[in-house]
Chain A
Amino acid sequence: MSDKGAYNPRIHWFAVVTAVATLGLIGVGGIVTSKGVGMAVPDWPSTYGYNMFFFPVSQWVGGIFWEHSHRLMASGVGLLTVLLSVWTFGWGGRKFLRFFLAPLLGIGSLLCFVVAEPQIQDGTLLGGLAGLALGTSFFWPRCQPSPRLIQRLSVAAVIGVIGQGVLGGLRVQLFLDDIGIVHAAVAQLFLVLLASIALFTSRWGAAALGRGVTTTLRTCALGWGLVCLMVLIFGQLLLGATMRHQHAGLAVPDFPLAYGKIWPATDEASVSAANLDRVDPREFNPITREHILLHMAHRVTALVIFAVALLLVVGATKMLPRGHWFANLLILWFALICVQGLMGAATVWSKKAADIATLHVVFGALTLVLGSLLSTISFCLAQAVPRRVSVSVGSLP
């Protein structure tokens, strides 16, 4: 098996669908925290004592609807990820399904039925999945295995999605907001991973892996610049996740000023006065000095990201031929960063309305994903030719 792989549009689009589903999952996760309903289903992995797939639709009410939907969507993304991973192993996936996964699920199903208190719903589900795995193995595509890099990424994605599910469960079981923050961070990284698989399974990715891409960039400076910015954006997403999981609502209720000033007062009297004015039916936790400082750090980091992104985009567009697709993508990405900044402002102006705050989460994820893909592409572009070689525009991919 080599790193050179033929372009398989079906795997590519399946990876795209999985990545889009993951973005949707992050969105629903955002709604769950925006509405403050993350603990609306007290048990895990069951739902009010039911196997989650058997929980009556009539009872999907209030916060249960969102939290339960989040869990079901997560299961769906998990299934898509497993299928994608198996697919990257080509025809070899057939053996995996028939001789490993189906028997494993079958044994699990049997165990559910023979225990002292039979778990009928769990057993039925596992039995159904075992049958599905076995049946699918007979119709499994006879395609070539994907390049090793893609296989490794897809296996990492399976590990990631399982770990992410366990993190979500632990958040519910252990009542720890810190796990919620990690859960949110891993979700972003998982999305980046899936988007990378989608990139490398694309026609462009297949060519890049096969060293078939001609170049535009003479050095990796842009790539490293983008990587640094990605680290900054990821840090910004962590700050946002921390703010969300403090369940304290808006620590600073106005924008662009903060409590009417450039920098808000954080002495005890000012914080107490700020708490007096907070009357939201969600009865957020009282804010503290640390909450205000965290909020301001989020704003300052946003400004830094904007400035760095602007510098990078301007620099790159000067480096690249006019109208080059990569430059256009960079400009699109910069526009996305601007929209994300506006969404942040709108979140404050709307008093953290659940829908706006959720869009802020989704655009944040998009910003990270697109930026990560662009930095990957820039490395590929720079890697394809030796230094000091100028390349004509006509040869660009």
Chain B
Amino acid sequence: MSARLLAGLIFSELMVGAFGGDITGKIILKGEPPQEKKLPLDPQCSAARKIAGQATTRFYVTDANGGLAEVFVSLKAVDGKFDAPSTPVILDQVGCEYKPYILGALAGQKIVVKNSDPVFHNVRTTPRVKENPEFNKAQLPKGRDLDFTYKNPEKFLRFKCDVHPWMFAYVNIVSHPYFAISGEDGSYTIKDVPPGEYEIEAVHRKAHAPKYVGLTKKITVGADGAVADFVVDITK
């Protein structure tokens, strides 16, 4: 083995140690979810809505194979202090719905709420953690962006509009960057997790309410990352 090859191997090992691997997995819903309800859009919102399809609630969003979307997956008890990124998390109001419905932000990271609608909205947050303040801000039609910042971790911190009482979004405030939201097929990826042993948790806003204690697994993240699948069982 040449010295150059050896050096390359050592370097790659160091890089994996520094940047770690990805945790991937899929969330499957077991059981029949209740029928989603149509959103009672008012005429103004219906007129403003340029999105195809009926607006419905998003309690359980699944694909044909049972993949469960919008599940918040994160590592529990991660040591270290992580600075909030300078790029904000974006939450938009489009057709009198929040996009996206579930998202995550690092504690201290700016959450920017946009209003792409030609209608008034108010943006009210209803945190359950006492240290997180409640806000209620007015937003004019296509008005300027509103900024929110939360410093204390909280699962599913609710953003809502009282002008249109069917509009909700939930932001998970986390103390570290190792989290993900499952996609439309139920799969997720948590990138660049340092090697080590962790407990990973998958929480669904509806299935695990009101305490939001989700499903957990012990995993070992190695150079190849790790895989953690979950089954959210709502059968009775």
Contact = CB atoms under 8 A, between A and B. Distances in A.
Contacts of A322: none
B229 interface: no
B44 interface: yes
* Size bracket of the A interface: 20 to 34
B57 A283 contact: yes
Contacts of B160: 283
Contact of B122 (A40, A279, A282): A40
A218 to B, nearest CB: 55
Nearest to B133: A175
Contact of A48 (B42, B59, B120, B210): B120
Interface string B102-137: 000000000000000001101010000000001011
Interface residues of B, number: 34
Nearest to B128: A285
A37 B162 contact: yes
A61 interface: yes
Contacts of B137: 42
B34 interface: yes
Contact of A63 (B136, B162, B209): B162
Nearest to B136: A42
Contacts of B81: none
A38 B120 contact: no
B137 to A, nearest CB: 6
Given A61-B120, A62-B44, A175-B136, A275 B210 contact: yes
B136 A39 contact: yes
Contacts of B122: 39-42
A59 B120 contact: yes
A268 B236 CA distance: 14
A64 to B, nearest CB: 5
Nearest to A61: B44
Interface string A214-235: 0000000000000000000000
Contacts of A283: 57, 160, 166, 168
B186 to A, nearest CB: 19
Interface in B128-161: 134, 136-138, 140, 160
Interface string A41-53: 1110000110000
Given A41-B122, A42-B124, A175-B136, A63 B234 contact: no
A286 interface: yes
- Name, among A41, A49, A288, the residue most crowded by chain B CB atoms within 10 Å (CB to CB): A41
Interface in A77-125: none
- Name, among A67, A282, A287, the residue most crowded by chain B CB atoms within 10 Å (CB to CB): A282
A281 interface: yes
B124 A39 contact: yes
A38 B124 CA distance: 11
A389 interface: no
Nearest to A277: B34
B48 to A, nearest CB: 11
Query: DSSP class of A's interface residues: helix, strand, loop or mixed?
Result: loop
B91 to A, nearest CB: 16
B90 interface: no
Contacts of A62: 42, 44-45, 119-120, 163-165
Given A59-B120, A281-B37, A36 B138 contact: no
Nearest to A67: B162
Interface in B162-220: 162-166, 168, 206-207, 209-210
A35 B165 contact: yes
Given A42-B137, A61-B119, A276-B207, A282 B165 contact: yes
Nearest to B34: A279
A262 interface: no
A36 B162 contact: yes
B165 A288 contact: no
Contacts of A41: 122, 138
Contacts of A43: 138
- Name, among B40, B45, B162, B234, the residue most crowded by chain A CB atoms within 10 Å (CB to CB): B162
Given A39-B124, A48-B138, A64-B120, A281 B163 contact: no
Given A40-B122, A279-B35, A279-B59, 9 more contacts: A37-B162, A61-B44, A62-B120, A64-B120, A279-B36, A281-B37, A281-B38, A283-B160, A285-B210
27 contacts: A37-B165, A38-B162, A42-B124, A43-B138, A48-B138, A48-B140, A61-B42, A61-B119, A62-B120, A63-B164, A64-B120, A67-B162, A172-B136, A175-B136, A276-B234, A279-B35, A279-B36, A279-B59, A280-B57, A281-B37, A281-B166, A282-B165, A282-B166, A283-B166, A286-B209, A287-B210, A288-B210
